[in-house]
Amino acid sequence: MTQATLDAHLNTFTATNDPVKAQIAETVRAFAAAAILVRKSINEGALGAAFAGTRGNANSGGDTQKELDVHADNLFLDAARKAGIGYYASEELANPVAINADSKIAVAIDPLDGSSNIDTNVSIGTIFSIVPRREDAATTFSQPGSEQLAAGFFIYGPQMALVLTKRNGTRIFVFSSRLGTFVEAYSSVTVAPMATEFAINMSNYRHWDETTRLYIDDCLAGMDGPREKDFNMRWIASLVADTYRILIRGGVFLYPRDSRKGYSLGRLRLIYEATPIALLIEQAGGAATDGATRILDLVPGDVHQRTPLVFGSKKEVEKIARYHTDPSAIGTRHPLFTNRGLFRA
């Protein structure tokens, strides 16, 4: 059976001549072209101009900008202009950019997720969310994630791939160097409902709330503990890489809020990291929460709002929520549980 190219897939998507679908398809095409250029810069590594180091500037979230962050943002902003979208909101820009007043859609984007790994040759990526354009930028980017029209991410790893949903399941397209285009590799991705792997930064254990420490302790206890099964731990510190692994083989990811300065509201950005990842995961049969509340139900108060994030295998995400919202269901062996929690004030 012949595998469909991304372009052929998008042609099928726009067969009904719906103008909004046409704009979504044009945006995905433009972003795919930009991603190929980003991949070329990444492949140059330290030999390329885009790896010149840091700019000494901080982005909207206070993180130090690297040259490749800015280079990627410029490429995707140019792609957004070519696609004629309404507004472009980026991690690298303080405020959204108005582009086309006649457009029906807008984009929120993390142009280069995992950029702290640039120098270490770890997989990094680009995450984007496509939402309906409203009367202005403020109302456009204050919609809950449930209003998304499409979402996806590019991962620049051993394979360059596009993970995409248009609210009809989650698909994966892998870039073929031979064909010079993205080709559908997985037409319907399903996250395994049960998890035997968890991804979390264990170095922050001492900063977590008691509830999350107890959840992780139960996982680490393995067959001898209350979970009565062994878990593996994974942590790549690249959101797209951890997400791709969970889509392919299941598991759960946790990035909780903690007691460190700047982490009390979580660390990941809601509209251009957590929200698109949540839609991709839900469309693949998984779940995504801030620990208790569904991510797609959260209403952003700011373009760069942060959030805790838990996602992956549905039953495991639900179990983590019970640790924080219904500790009595976990068992009497947890006398330390109280109403306070990692994800709740």
For the chain, list the domains and their CATH numbers. Answer: 6-186 (3.30.540.10), 197-329 (3.40.190.80)
Q: Is the pLDDT of residue 270 over 80?
A: yes
Confidence class for position 58, pLDDT limits 50, 70, 90: low
pLDDT band at residue 286 using 50, 70 and 90 as cut-offs: very high
Q: Over the chain, what is the mean pLDDT?
A: 91
pLDDT at 314: 97
Rounded to two decimals, the pTM is: 0.92
pLDDT digits (tens, 9 = 90+) for 84-118: 999 999 999 999 999 999 999 999 999 999 888 88
Helices 239-249 and 275-283, axial angle in degrees (round to 10) = 10
C-alpha 341/C-alpha 249 separation (Å) is 29
**Contact (Cβ atoms closer than 8 angstroms) between residue 110 and residue 272:** yes
Q: For 2, which DSSP code?
A: P
Whole-number pLDDT of residue 336: 47
How many beta carbons lie within 10 A of that of residue 259, not counting itself?
A: 12
Token pair 């306070």: residue: 340
With a cut of 50, say whether residue 344 has pLDDT above it: no
Confidence bin at 248 (pLDDT 50/70/90): very high
Residue 343 has pLDDT above 60, yes or no: no
Helix (H) or strand (E) holding 108: strand 105-113
- For 125-162, how does the pLDDT look when each residue is reduced to its tens digit (9 = 90+)? 999 999 999 999 999 999 999 999 999 999 999 999 99
Query: Could you give the strand order of the β-sheet that contains 232-234, starting from the edge strand earlier in sequence?
Result: 232-234, 197-199, 252-255, 309-312, 287-289
**Of residues 260 and 343, which shows the higher confidence score?**
260
* Three-state secondary-structure class, residue 103: coil
Tokens describing residue 72: 């990627």
How far is 139 from 239, CA to CA, in rounded Å? 27
In percent, the amount of the chain with pLDDT more than 70 equals 89
